[in-house]
């Protein structure tokens, strides 16, 4: 379950249509939403979100917990480098940190389901529970061997433990690349580079869709 808020923009034709046909739109909303490309029980999904779960565990759970426990707040651990994570996993700052992360993963994915009725539980609980815990252990074991001052933000770019943490649900797909077609050759002769050509083409497409101004830099600046 979740909450979604639509803020329509009057210059977007699709947004205007949703408002104009509000009643019908909402009656058939479920039919108009494409099914998700993946499910949370897909192995590839678990592999992809593992680093995201780890970063969430570090920043959203461990840092806060240690900050509360530390009387001298200025000394509270912050996990900005590989060394910081290594120290967490090899010291007594948080006893059983690796197992804590395993439990965090299992609960975040919702393997056991919610409440006494186990709503949304995994179809094969034992299999998925063991799998995500094994993945979590592999990640923490890797950090136990790492010892460097490299910032985590840089480490994730070429990490041996998986892709960098997701910043958006769109991160599940490989990023596409727009390139100008040969038909733009005459415009190249006018001194326009590829970036300018692609920006111009996308601006035209968005205007045709009635969404003028949605493209970044649509004020004429690149």
Q: What pTM value is reported for the model?
A: 0.64
CA distance 217 to 203: 9
Model pLDDT, residue 169: 65
Mean pLDDT of 70-94: 90
No. of helices (H) and no. of strands (E), the chain: 11, 0
Does 32 share its domain with 47?
A: no
Does 180 share its domain with 163?
A: no
Q: What contacts 102, CB < 8 A, 6 or more positions away?
A: 132, 133, 136, 137
Mean pLDDT of 218-222: 42
In a domain, 178, yes or no: yes
Does 63 share its domain with 152?
A: yes
- Higher pLDDT among residues 114 and 33, named by residue: 114
Mean pLDDT of 87-104: 93
Q: Which range marks the domain in which residue 160 is found?
A: 43-172
Q: What contacts 137, CB < 8 A, 6 or more positions away?
A: 98, 102
**Strand (E) or helix (H) holding 25:** helix 22-27
What three-state secondary structure class fits 108?
helix
pLDDT band at 71 (very low <50, low <70, confident <90, very high): confident
pLDDT band at 133 (very low <50, low <70, confident <90, very high): very high
Rounded alpha-carbon distances, angstroms, from residue 51 to 62, 93, 136: 15, 21, 9
In a domain, 1, yes or no: no
- Report the range of poorest mean pLDDT among 10-14, 164-168, 189-193: 189-193
Q: Is the pLDDT of residue 35 over 70?
A: no
């Amino acid at each position: 379950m979740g909450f979604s808020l639509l803020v329509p923009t009057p210059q977007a034709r699709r947004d205007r249509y949703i408002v104009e046909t509000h009643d019908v739109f909402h009656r058939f909303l479920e039919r108009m939403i494409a099914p998700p490309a993946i499910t949370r029980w897909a192995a590839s999904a678990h592999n992809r979100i593992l680093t995201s779960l780890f970063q969430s565990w570090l920043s959203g759970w461990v840092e806060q917990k240690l900050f509360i426990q530390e009387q001298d707040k200025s000394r509270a651990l912050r996990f900005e480098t590989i060394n910081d994570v290594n120290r967490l996993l090899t010291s007594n700052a948080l006893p059983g940190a690796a197992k804590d992360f395993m439990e965090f993963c299992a609960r975040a994915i919702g393997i056991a389901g919610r409440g006494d009725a186990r709503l949304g539980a995994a179809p094969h609980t034992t299999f998925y529970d063991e799998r995500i815990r094994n993945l979590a252990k592999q990640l923490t074991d890797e950090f136990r061997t790492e010892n460097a001052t490299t910032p985590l933000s840089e480490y994730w770019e070429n990490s041996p433990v998986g892709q960098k943490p997701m910043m958006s649900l769109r991160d599940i797909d490989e990023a596409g690349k727009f390139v100008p077609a040969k038909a733009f050759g005459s415009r190249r002769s006018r001194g326009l580079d590829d970036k300018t050509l692609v920006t111009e083409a996308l601006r035209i497409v968005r205007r045709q869709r009635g969404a003028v101004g949605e493209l970044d830099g649509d004020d004429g600046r690149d």
